[in-house]
Amino acid sequence: MSNLITTYYKTPLGTAEIVGDNNGIQSISVLDDEFSTPLEVTNSDLPKCMQDCRTQLEEYFAGERMEFDLKLNPQGTTFQKKVWKELLNIPFNKTRTYLEQSKALGDVKAIRAVASANGKNPIWIVIPCHRVIGSDGSLTGYAGGIWRKKWLLDHENPVKQQSLF
């Protein structure tokens, strides 16, 4: 059994808590509160996959990265892992409905189970569950908050909405 390491990275949406080890990133979650710890691990003490994660998140938020190339090790059921793997097929700046996601997984009737698995996605942004929307185009269900989902989708949209006034 390995010892998990936790590190933090400040993003425009809150502080990201990154948990992993040499086997890969197990989770990335966003914290609502300001967070800093005197026990913060220095970058040189982190496994390579966690150093890469911080670098790639920084590039993503700077608008310089559209795909992540990280060693991932999410913990979940076989079904959840299948759903999360399918989320990785949704391209940057594209969305998919929960129904389309269910179809991609081969079972239209599994829409509720797919939505539930999306909601349990442990790897924020990198496994892009924020790209899944309601059939009517609404921004439904996002564990990090709908405002973060909207921010991420706007961030990925190359055409920035202009105000008329």
Cα gap 45→24, rounded to integer Å: 15
Tokens encoding 59: 């590039």
Q: What is the distance between the alpha carbons of residues 125 and 98, in angstroms, rounded to a whole number? A: 17
User: Token pair 């989770």 is at which residue?
Assistant: 27
Contacts 24+ apart (CB under 8 A), 32-41: 35/8, 36/8, 37/8, 40/7, 40/8, 41/5, 41/6, 41/7
Contacts (Cβ under 8 Å, ≥6 apart) of 66: 92, 93, 156
One of 25, 70, 87, 129 is an active-site residue; which one? 129
Is 53 catalytic? The answer is no
Give the active site residues.
Answer: 129
